[in-house]
Amino acid sequence: MGRRWVVRAVAPSYTVGAACVIERDDGSVLLVRLVYRDGWGLPGGLIKRREPIADCARREVREEVGVDVELTSEPAVVVDGRAQRVDVVFRARLAAGADPDGARPSSAEIREVRWFTAGELPTLQHEAVTALGALAASVRDDQAAAASPSAGPGGGPLALAAVAALAQRSAGGGAGDPGD
């Protein structure tokens, strides 16, 4: 008990959140624009006390863009020591019966919601770039471990890797400061 108190007293404090890279069958990715930030990002937010992280990811998507999703990957974790933030990122698709055109701003903090193909990615927030890269790397690692081919045309691991690569390139073009 005393050790835990000492660790909490001297250890840095981090916020923990979840985000989703939501893909359509054609490989497009759903992005959101926040009212208080420049650039586009992923739907997501902070975890509630004692909430399982996967539940947090699904809840945040529902609250922000009004659709239900199914998580389709193990999470990738991004730790930003400078911002003292841990982001747990899941790959997701719309739940059965959900309409892709039904995604809309459902929260006062969301200005705009839109599907983007890899070739038309807008300027992304720093967190979105690092999340896409981490998730693409984890998909590649899982694939190499299983020695399996790509999931095929559309929304397979190669599509996610292409989106992450393009996002990384767009970061050089003003994806925003990590402190935005």
9 Cα distance to chain centroid: 31
Domain boundaries, the chain: 13-171
Residue 148 clears pLDDT 50, i.e. is over it = no
70-121: per-residue pLDDT in tens? 999 999 999 998 989 999 999 999 999 999 999 999 999 999 999 998 888 8
Helix locations, the chain, DSSP H:
2-10, 53-65, 126-146, 157-171
Name the amino acid, one letter, at 56.
Answer: C
For residues 150 and 170, what is the distance between their CA atoms, to the nearest angstrom? 25
Q: Does domain 13-171 have CATH number 3.90.79.10?
A: yes
Q: What is the pLDDT of residue 160?
A: 63
SS3 content of the chain, % helix, strand, coil (to 5): 35, 25, 40
Q: What is the pLDDT of residue 173?
A: 44
pTM of the model: 0.78
- As a whole number, mean pLDDT of residues 52-75 equals 97
